[in-house]
């Protein structure tokens, strides 16, 4: 099982930093008996490993050798692979750089390394045998990729940063079998790589007879790529730690938990 982590973005919204935004310390983790800072990308990687990923492919750009150094030994039981994206020209270009590594019969998980979301087992709610999106409710869907589904959960359309979005549910991560990943990669190439956003490619895939599903299993989603998002993430993690201590479940209202990317900014 392969996890793909697109980490080639410039991180312009939260600069200046002396390191890649994916390594921004947010919260902490236990290393044996020692508490250490936790890089924001570790939250995604940990969720992938929890779902059974044994290889993680980081897509990195120039000037991001610190990500290679940080994850060179892998993460937990998963080995690390690094692929270069020469220029940060969109999510589709990034994830399909991993196409030579994807076998048709294996499962592929994809998420964004500057986000923190709950529940931690979110990937486990997605089926392995189809293209499926983990959906989260937000208060401003026009700043995300809103996913319109029918009563059976089948995706009808993805509305990419659309002002009059027809739903409050947006995707935060997705999963698919390798054969569908390769089909999408081929479609992207056939379209001359014109799709920057994954949502527009999926719309073309659906129009050509493809199928996808949206799973409304997400409860809290934070984009840590802004200063406001960083502060919100700290509150989210603090609230989650408190809920774990007293055995209660956590649900963070959209007005507090969902901090969007700015229009036109993907890194």
Q: Percentage of the chain surpassing pLDDT 90?
A: 70
Q: How does residue 132 score in pLDDT terms, banded at 50, 70 and 90?
A: very high
pLDDT at 12: 52
Span between the terminal Cα atoms of the chain, in Å: 26
* 178-190 helix and 198-207 helix, angle to the nearest 10 degrees: 90
pLDDT at 243: 53
What integer best gives the mean pLDDT of the chain? Answer: 88
Q: What is the mean pLDDT of residues 107-111?
A: 98
Is the model's pLDDT at 257 over the cut of 80? no
DSSP conformational letter for 75: B
Contact 26, 39 (CB under 8 A): yes
Each residue's pLDDT tens digit, 205-248? 999 999 999 999 999 998 887 778 778 888 888 887 655 544 43
Q: What is the mean pLDDT of residues 80-107?
A: 96
Each residue's pLDDT tens digit, 168-178? 999 999 999 99
pLDDT at 239: 82
Q: Pick from 67, 95, 74: which is nearest to 175 by CA?
A: 95
């Amino acid at each position: 099982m392969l996890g793909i982590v697109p980490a080639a973005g410039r991180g312009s919204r939260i600069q200046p930093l002396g390191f890649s935004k994916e390594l921004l310390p947010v919260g902490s983790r236990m290393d044996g008996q020692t508490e250490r800072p936790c890089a924001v990308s570790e939250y995604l990687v940990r969720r992938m490993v929890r779902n059974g990923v044994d290889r993680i492919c980081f897509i990195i750009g120039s000037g991001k050798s610190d990500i290679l150094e940080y994850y060179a030994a892998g993460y937990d039981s998963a080995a690390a692979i690094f692929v270069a994206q020469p220029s940060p020209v969109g999510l589709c270009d990034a994830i399909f750089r991993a196409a030579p590594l994807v076998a048709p019969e294996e499962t592929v998980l994809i998420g964004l390394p500057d986000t923190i979301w709950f529940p931690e087992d979110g990937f486990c709610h997605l089926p392995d045998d189809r293209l499926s999106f983990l959906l989260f409710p937000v208060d401003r869907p026009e700043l995300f990729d809103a996913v319109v589904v029918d009563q059976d959960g089948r995706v009808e359309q993805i509305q990419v940063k659309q002002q009059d979005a027809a739903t409050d549910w947006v995707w935060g991560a997705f999963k698919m079998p390798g054969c569908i990943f390769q089909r999408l990669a081929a479609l992207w190439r056939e379209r001359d790589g014109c799709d920057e956003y994954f949502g527009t490619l999926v719309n073309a895939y659906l129009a050509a007879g493809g199928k996808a599903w949206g799973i409304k299993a997400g409860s809290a989603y934070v984009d840590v790529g802004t200063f406001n998002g960083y502060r919100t993430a700290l509150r989210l993690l603090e609230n989650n730690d408190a809920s774990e201590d007293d055995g209660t479940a956590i649900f963070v209202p959209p007005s507090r938990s969902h901090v969007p990317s700015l229009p036109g900014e993907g890194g």
